[in-house]
Amino acid sequence: MKEEGHPKYYDCVVTCSCGNTWTTKSTKKELKIDICSACHPFYTGKQKLIDSGGRVDRFKKMMKKVNTSSNTKK
């Protein structure tokens, strides 16, 4: 078997954007991630609602128009 057939395997330090770190094995020495089980809403039970650009308000306005226009046409 060829020696160069497999990549090097390192102890890897994983760092989350929330500050949580842990060690695992990987072909890279360091990984930086955006979200982990310590900060993900599914695991923490704390959901963060982010309304980017007023999408919820625009949706509510659109639904209000649809409901009022359908009621006036009858």
Q: What domain range includes position 3? A: 1-44
pLDDT tens for each residue of 9-40: 999 999 998 899 999 999 999 999 988 888 87
Q: Residue 61 falls within a domain, yes or no?
A: no
Number of domains in the chain: 1
Q: Which residue spans within the chain are E strands per DSSP?
A: 10-16, 21-26, 30-33
> DSSP letters along 21-39, please?
EEEEEESSSEEEES--TTT
Given this model, what pLDDT does residue 52 score? 62
Q: Residue 38 falls within a domain, yes or no?
A: yes
pLDDT above 60: residue 41 = yes
Q: Which residue pairs from 55-63 have beta carbons closer than 8 angstroms and sit at least 24 positions apart in sequence?
A: none
Q: Residue 65 falls within a domain, yes or no?
A: no
Q: Is 2 exposed, middle or buried (0-12, 13-18, 19+ CB in 10 A)?
A: exposed
pTM for this structure? 0.52
Mean pLDDT of the region 46-51: 63
What's the CATH number where 22 sits?
4.10.80.400
